[in-house]
Amino acid sequence: MMHSSMCRVQRGSFVYYTCRRLPVRHAFTTKSGGVSTGACESLNLGFNRGDTEQNVRENYRRLAEELNVDGARFTLTRQIHEAEVSVVRESEAGMGLTRPMAWQSDAIVTALPDTPLIGFYADCVVTLLYDPATHAAGVCHAGWRGMAAGILPKTAHVMAEKLGAHRDSLIAVLGPSIRQECFETDADVPQAMERQLGAQVQPFIAEKGAKFHVDLQGIGAKLLRDAGLSPENVIDSGICTMCHADTFWSHRATHGVRGVQGAVICL
């Protein structure tokens, strides 16, 4: 069930979701609102999905216009399912869109104003983070490997250590992603998560016959609380990308033939 603080926003064909707890420009995009065609119809934000560069850049232009952000300063993650966190300084603003990509980081954080950060999802958990006390922001992408490697608490740690963010005021919103009822795996996934995170993940793993169902959002929320975030500041959107594959691209639902959504935050 969608969290009560989440809102669906529609302007014309442009549809995205926001969270009332985040008082800065942000969005979890959907398929709708762009110019791409075929399997990437219509607001595809990925340059590596077989779409034309012209279409993708026009989609970014439309997204920038909708959120009232500077499109030339969109700063992208390069997601490799690991636990690297990078701080975006002025010399990195625009990385991946108007400047060559120079990192492989599943999470990026910043204190720069007017610098939209974007992470990508099509089932993975992308979390937007914001500290109103120090005006710092971040975006963190986590599939099960990144979640097992602890990238979410590491992102909070980097925001605290490098940007001065206060853990007790830091807000984290876990965006639309594949949820436990749809995230069916073989034994290797829960075994790998238990190896890295220990017995604390067991309550979030359900065994169903020969298969397992993993609650990535539950694990992520617990790790953030254990990292010092207040329980009321850790918000799970409650939206399943696979259950709502009419609205969102789901990697599983499309067998990988798809576009990609973005989670954006901008100070």
Considering the domain boundaries, does residue 1 fall inside one?
no
| 25-48 confidence digits (pLDDT tens) | 999 999 999 999 999 999 999 999
228 pLDDT band (50/70/90 cuts)? very high
Considering the domain boundaries, does residue 123 fall inside one?
yes
pLDDT at 95: 97
CA 247 to chain centre: 16
pLDDT at 117: 98
252 pLDDT band (50/70/90 cuts)? very high
Considering the domain boundaries, does residue 241 fall inside one?
yes
DSSP annotation of 98: T
pLDDT at 235: 98
pLDDT at 55: 98
Considering the domain boundaries, does residue 103 fall inside one?
yes
Considering the domain boundaries, does residue 92 fall inside one?
yes
Looking up residue 260, the CATH number of its domain turns out to be: 3.60.140.10
Residue 154 lies in domain? 6-266
Considering the domain boundaries, does residue 33 fall inside one?
yes
Considering the domain boundaries, does residue 179 fall inside one?
yes
CA 96 to chain centre: 17
C-alpha pair distances (Å), 102 with each of 9, 105, 134, 259: 33, 9, 27, 23
| 176-221 confidence digits (pLDDT tens) | 999 999 999 999 999 999 999 999 999 999 999 999 999 999 999 9
Cβ-contact 24, 130 below 8 angstroms: yes
Which class for 255: exposed (0-12), middle (13-18), buried (19 or more C-beta within 10 A)?
Answer: exposed
Q: What is the mean pLDDT of residues 158-163?
A: 98
Helix 216-226 × helix 151-163 angle, to 10°:
30
Cβ-contact 266, 24 below 8 angstroms: yes
| 112-136 confidence digits (pLDDT tens) | 999 999 999 999 999 999 999 999 9
Taking alpha carbons only, the member of 28, 197, 229 closest to residue 127 is: 28
How many domains are contained in the chain? 1
Instruction: Determine the residue type at 97.
Output: L
Considering the domain boundaries, does residue 208 fall inside one?
yes
